């Protein structure tokens, strides 16, 4: 467990530093021009799931690289294959981002907001391609046991984005944000590439695409990306359903959703750190031991944050809203939100455990079941039981997902070492 904690801490810090730039952008635009902030919100509605899908696909590379921890140079062919796959997924994400102005017009977004987008979609599309060009450097570094290195690209990105945003956004608005985001992405990509080359001990170089090997990577990576898209999509529908319950309930839902994202940072970092340990396990007992330790650590971290939130509920909620009625509503729903977060934390570890076993397709199937039920129930539940019913439904969906993912991991981990034993 100590090994997992040491590996997870840099990943956690990288996630936190990665959020700094976005917070600075929101603050600067909020004090610069309301229309620009609204346009940025429209942009992030597509950028966030697109980026998450690309990141999800790249995280599927971990189990293919982890076996080379003792001989990193031998992983270079896999890294080359990963680069081709990541460029393909990054291109799809970039195309989605470029289409934001069209989607916004079709969706009825005011013309002044759409017009404010300017160069931002093109700059962010360029950022996604630059990010994809690293070939999942952070995932590969974690798989090679160098999780400390993942902090530096993220820290670099956050600092450069923050500084350039403060300098450029007040002068040229969202175009400045786009330039800042693209430049920060390029600098962070250079740092990540240098760290990856040092970890591998040799240049990566160029290589012709090995289609058979790329398909093997895609069988793990693509279902993982699809899982992320399903989660974001269904939670978007839940937010829409919450919007039908009244202004204060909608605001309370928004606050709780933000807090949920913060609570999940610990479990996601532990889940990523556990992939190499599970992937390198030689038998079912070792794989389950690593997964169990990760689940306990993720739940413990989430529980500690949850207890702090319960004790400081009023003060924390006061940072997000000045409306006493909204704070009261959110405070009443905290227990349900925390149950949902704890179940989500544990299922995330089991889901990444399945990815480590190269069984992300099974995890995708479980998400279709668990979040498919939530999708079907969201609007009827909101109309009948309001926001309380919605958070109860989300908690139930995450508990169901925890059961499915846990049972699935146990079933698939029983095959660990079987191929070696036959050989």
Query: What tens digit of pLDDT does each residue of 6-39 get?
Result: 888 888 888 888 777 777 877 787 666 767 777 7
Q: How far apart are CA 60 and CA 82, in angstroms?
A: 10
Q: Is 67 exposed, middle or buried (0-12, 13-18, 19+ CB in 10 A)?
A: middle
Q: For the chain, how many residues are written?
A: 423
Q: Which residue has the higher pLDDT, 404 or 77?
A: 404
Mean pLDDT value of segment 122-144: 89
Name which residue leads in pLDDT, 70 or 408: 408
Q: Choose the most confident range, by mean pLDDT, from 33-47, 81-95, 293-307, 362-376.
A: 362-376
The rounded percent of the chain whose pLDDT value lies above 70 is: 97
Alpha helices in 201-283 (DSSP H): 211-242, 247-279
State pLDDT tens for residues 213-243: 888 988 998 898 889 889 888 887 888 788 7
Residue 246 tokens read as 């009244």
Give every CB contact of residue 193 below 8 A, 6+ residues apart in sequence: 134, 137
Question: CA–CA separation, 188 vs 195, rounded Å?
Answer: 11
Q: What would the pLDDT profile of 109-118 be if each residue is shown by its tens digit?
A: 778 888 888 8
Across the range 395-401, mean pLDDT stands at 96
pLDDT of 106 reads 82
Q: What is the mean pLDDT of residues 44-51?
A: 80
> Residue 254: pLDDT above 80?
no
CA 38 to chain centre: 23
Q: Which of 43-47, 87-91, 292-296, 353-357 has the lowest mean pLDDT?
A: 43-47
Least Cα distance to 302 among 267, 259, 326, 276 occurs for 267
Q: What is the mean pLDDT of residues 361-387?
A: 93
Query: DSSP characters for 284-321?
Result: HHHHHHHHHHHHHHHHHHHHHHHHHHHHTHHHHHHTT-
- Which residues make Cβ contacts (< 8 Å) with residue 92, sequence separation at least 6? none
* One-character DSSP codes across 9-59: HHHHHHHHHHHHHHHHHHHHHHHH-HHHHHHHHHHHHHHHHHHHHHHHHHH
Residue 421 pLDDT > 50, yes or no? no
CA distance 372 to 270: 26
At 422, the pLDDT band (50, 70, 90 cuts) reads: very low
Q: Is residue 420 predicted with pLDDT exceeding 50?
A: no
Instruction: Report pLDDT for 321.
Output: 67
What percent of the chain clears pLDDT 90, i.e. is strictly above it?
A: 37
Separation CA 237–CA 209 (nearest Å): 39
Tokens read off for 289: 């031991």
What angle (nearest 5°) sits at the alpha carbon of residue 391, between those of residues 323 and 109? 65
For residues 384 and 410, is the Cβ–Cβ distance under 8 A? no
- Please classify residue 90 by burial: count the beta carbons closer than 10 Å to its beta carbon, then call 0-12 exposed, 13-18 middle and 19+ buried: buried
pLDDT at 423: 35
Reported as a single tens digit per residue, the pLDDT across 137-179 is 888 898 888 888 988 999 999 999 999 999 998 888 889 999 9
């Amino acid at each position: 467990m100590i090994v997992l904690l040491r590996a997870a801490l840099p990943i956690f810090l990288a996630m936190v530093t990665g959020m700094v730039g976005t917070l600075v952008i929101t603050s600067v635009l909020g004090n610069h021009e309301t229309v620009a902030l609204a346009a940025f919100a429209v942009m992030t509605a597509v950028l966030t799931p697109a980026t998450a899908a690309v990141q999800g696909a790249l995280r599927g590379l971990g189990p293919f690289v982890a076996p080379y921890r003792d001989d990193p140079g031998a992983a270079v062919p896999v890294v080359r294959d990963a680069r081709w796959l990541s460029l393909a997924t990054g291109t799809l994400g970039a195309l989605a981002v470029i289409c934001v102005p069209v989607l916004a017009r079709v969706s009825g977004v005011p013309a002044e907001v759409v017009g404010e987008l300017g160069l931002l979609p093109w700059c962010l599309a360029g950022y996604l391609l630059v990010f994809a060009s690293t070939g999942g450097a952070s995932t590969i570094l974690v798989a090679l046991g160098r999780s400390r290195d993942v902090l530096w690209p993220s820290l670099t990105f956050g600092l450069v984005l923050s500084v350039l945003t403060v300098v450029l956004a007040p002068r040229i608005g969202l175009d400045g944000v786009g330039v800042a985001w693209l430049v920060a992405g390029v600098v962070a990509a250079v740092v990540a590439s240098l760290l990856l080359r040092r970890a591998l001990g040799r240049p990566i170089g160029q290589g012709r695409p090995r289609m058979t090997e790329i398909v093997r990577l895609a069988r793990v990576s693509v279902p993982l990306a699809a899982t992320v898209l399903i989660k974001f999509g269904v939670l978007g529908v839940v937010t829409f359903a919450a919007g039908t319950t009244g202004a204060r309930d909608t605001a309370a839902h928004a606050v709780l959703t933000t807090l949920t994202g913060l609570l999940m940072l610990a479990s996601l970092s532990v889940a990523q750190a556990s992939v190499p340990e599970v992937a390198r396990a030689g038998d079912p007992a070792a794989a389950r031991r690593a997964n169990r330790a990760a689940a306990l650590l993720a739940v413990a971290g989430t529980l500690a944050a949850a207890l702090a939130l319960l004790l400081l509920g009023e003060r924390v909620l006061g940072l997000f809203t000045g409306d006493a009625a909204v704070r009261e509503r959110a405070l009443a729903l905290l227990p349900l939100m925390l149950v949902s977060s704890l179940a989500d934390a544990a299922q995330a570890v089991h889901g990444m455990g399945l990815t480590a076993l190269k069984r992300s397709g099974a995890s995708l199937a479980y998400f279709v079941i668990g979040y498919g039920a939530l999708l079907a129930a969201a609007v009827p539940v909101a109309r009948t039981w309001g926001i309380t019913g919605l958070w109860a439904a989300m908690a139930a969906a995450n508990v169901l997902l925890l059961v499915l993912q846990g049972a699935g991991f146990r079933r698939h981990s029983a095959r660990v070492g079987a191929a070696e034993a036959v050989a």
